[in-house]
Amino acid sequence: MSGRETPLKVGAVVITMGNRPDELRALLDSVAAQEGDRVEVVVVGNGAPVPDVPSGVRIVELPENLGIPGGRNVGIEAFGPGGSEVDILLFLDDDGLLPRTDTAELCRQAFAADPELGIISFRIADPDTGVTQRRHVPRLRASDPMRSSRVTTFLGGANAVRTKVFAEVGGLPDDFFYAHEETDLAWRALDAGWAIDYRADMVLHHPTTAPSRHAVYHRMVARNRVWLARRNLPALLVPAYLGTWILLTLLRRPSGAALRAWLGGFREGWATPCGPRRPMRWRTVWRLTRLGRPPVI
């Protein structure tokens, strides 16, 4: 970027349930410490009051929990329609922390250098061990989390999105509430011609956790997997994609309770409205395949 060009404007959206005030304050302090122009921040209280935050941080308190995608969509709109007041939006978990002070500047540089880049997925690392869990590397070949690459999806609580993506393909699917909403947006963005990068040098510190800590995990993972396929895949690929995930789920040998919740969610995914159906083009299927993740897995 030349010195005569205007730096891209960066904002940040943080969703909180109000139960991690110390972690939220640490995250906001790490955002305030970013180099370059100030990062404007919106904190969305998702059905809970927002704890004390530094001056200058905008607050939106929702009367009920809209779920992760619903809360993030409210945060997007707080920056104008589709986030239009800024060029880039960071989405950060309220118990995360940016250990580097140049992350926002790296985002500006990456988006300025590549006009086709729509989304960046950060590397999530445990603050004590530095370990990145395999599930936090958004590609099948996840053994080396220090390798950056083009990918087909991204991590919901540690990413940056060019706001033009929202203007073109819309926001996150509100009804998903939790799980797979990022892949739904990723597939729509890829189908519109945008690219997604995983960047190992853009780091969010986050304690190592298991997704199954959420009581609704197994049900919503299954339900939303079905919705994801019904909304986005060509009809021929829907049974192949869902059949693969049934097999993978059984191979993981879940507990009886987990399997019952998963099967209940799977049935719910077929029996309930999934939102508008916009099947991706076959050239997008081929693009996903070339990137190493055909949409049958």
For residue 3, is it within any domain?
no
Average the pLDDT over 84-108 and give the result: 98
Check whether residue 218 and residue 199 sit in a common domain.
no
CATH number, domain containing residue 136: 3.90.550.10
Residue 280 belongs to what domain range?
212-290
Where b means 16+ CB within 10 Å and e means fewer, 7-42 reads ebbbbbbbbbebeeeebbebbbebbeebebeebbbb
Contacts of 50 (CB under 8 A, 6+ apart): 16, 18, 43, 44, 59, 61
Check whether residue 200 and residue 101 sit in a common domain.
yes
SS3 at position 45: strand
Average the pLDDT over 61-65 and give the result: 97
User: pLDDT tens across 35-56, in order?
Assistant: 999 999 999 999 999 999 999 9
Final residue of a structural domain among 187, 209, 231: 209
Final residue of a structural domain among 157, 187, 209: 209
Rounded Cα gap, residues 49 and 61, in angstroms: 6
The pair of structure tokens assigned to 260 is 């019952």
Check whether residue 223 and residue 105 sit in a common domain.
no
Q: Where are the alpha helices (DSSP H) in 78-160?
A: 103-113
Check whether residue 50 and residue 138 sit in a common domain.
yes
Is residue 1 predicted with pLDDT exceeding 60?
A: no
The pair of structure tokens assigned to 167 is 């203007």
Strands of the chain (E only): list them. 10-16, 40-46, 58-62, 88-93, 117-125, 149-150, 158-162, 195-205
Beta bridge partners of 45: 16, 61
Percent above pLDDT 70 for the chain = 97
What pLDDT, on a 0 to 100 scale, did the predictor assign at position 102? 98
Check whether residue 185 and residue 272 sit in a common domain.
no
Check whether residue 174 and residue 253 sit in a common domain.
no
Beta bridge partners of 214: none
For residue 38, is it within any domain?
yes
Check whether residue 107 and residue 232 sit in a common domain.
no
For residue 201, is it within any domain?
yes
Check whether residue 249 and residue 140 sit in a common domain.
no
213 pLDDT band, cuts 50/70/90, is: low
For residue 2, is it within any domain?
no
Check whether residue 56 and residue 177 sit in a common domain.
yes
For residue 5, is it within any domain?
no
Check whether residue 17 and residue 124 sit in a common domain.
yes
Is residue 212 predicted with pLDDT exceeding 90?
A: no
Helices (H) and strands (E) in the chain, counts: 9, 8
Instruction: State the amino acid at position 290 in one-letter form.
Output: R
Rounded Cα gap, residues 131 and 143, in angstroms: 12
For residue 240, is it within any domain?
yes
What pLDDT, on a 0 to 100 scale, did the predictor assign at position 215? 57
Residue 139 exposed, middle or buried by CB count within 10 Å (0-12, 13-18, 19+):
middle
Count the Cβ atoms, other than its own, within 10 Å of residue 63. 8
Is residue 159 predicted with pLDDT exceeding 70?
A: yes
For residue 217, is it within any domain?
yes
**CB-based contact 186:227 (threshold 8 Å):** no
pTM of the model: 0.95
Count the Cβ atoms, other than its own, within 10 Å of residue 49. 10
Check whether residue 241 and residue 200 sit in a common domain.
no
Final residue of a structural domain among 152, 179, 209: 209
Rounded Cα gap, residues 78 and 270, in angstroms: 34
Check whether residue 187 and residue 230 sit in a common domain.
no
Nearest to residue 36, comparing CAs of 106, 85, 111?
106
What is the total count of domains within the chain?
2
For residue 295, is it within any domain?
no
113 pLDDT band, cuts 50/70/90, is: very high
What pLDDT, on a 0 to 100 scale, did the predictor assign at position 117? 98
What pLDDT, on a 0 to 100 scale, did the predictor assign at position 5? 75
Cα angle: 58, vertex 74, 66; to 5 degrees: 120
Instruction: State the amino acid at position 149 in one-letter form.
Output: S
Nearest to residue 35, comparing CAs of 108, 112, 123?
108
The pair of structure tokens assigned to 115 is 């006009």
Rounded Cα gap, residues 137 and 124, in angstroms: 8
